Amino acid sequence: MKETEMKASLFCLQCNDDTPHSIIYINDEITSVRCEECQHTVSIQVDIMKEFYKEIYERVFTKPSRITQEYRQDLSHFLSRLPFRVASKPYRLMRDLNESRKLIQQYRNKKKSV
Ligand SMILES: [Zn+2]
């Protein structure tokens, strides 16, 4: 899960003008748009847990086609090797999960404070 910031010129209702805005994305979903002139912020409710699970699902279940071929060739052999393959990439996955967890925390806190 990734938070991305983008700058764009948009029309601000408060300033009644085109002003620079910063747009925050979680993955591909826009979560907030802030006017940099008056700081007026429009937040868009992102289902952060949905994004999180979607990402986990894609990461865990969208296997490279190589695995699918092996799976077709020999199911039992594939299954006996699976734990090792899953264990071979835990570092990256865990690091991403930690980042995602941090973001979820931030968003939960944000919700509470509103
Ligand atoms: Zn503004």
**With bands split at pLDDT 50, 70 and 90, how would you rate the model's confidence at 35?**
very high
Distance separating alpha carbons of residues 70 and 86, to the nearest angstrom: 15
Mean pLDDT, rounded, for 9-26: 88
pLDDT at 37: 94
Q: How many Å lie between the centroid of ligand 1 and the Cα of residue 14? A: 5
pLDDT digits (tens, 9 = 90+) for 36-91: 999 988 887 777 777 777 776 676 666 555 555 555 555 555 455 544 444 444 55
Q: How far apart are the first and last CA of the chain?
A: 23
pLDDT of residue 31: 83
- 29 CA from centroid of ligand 1 (Å): 22
So what's the pLDDT on residue 85? Answer: 46
Ion ligand 1 nearby residues (CB, 5 A): 12, 14-15, 35, 37-38, 40
Rounded distance between C-alpha atoms, residue 48 and residue 50, angstroms: 5
* pLDDT computed for residue 13 by the predictor: 86
- Would you list the domain boundaries of the chain? 1-46, 47-114
Region of residue 16 (phi > 0: left; psi between -120 and 50: alpha; otherwise: beta): left
SS3 61: helix
Query: What is the residue-averaged pLDDT of the chain?
Result: 72
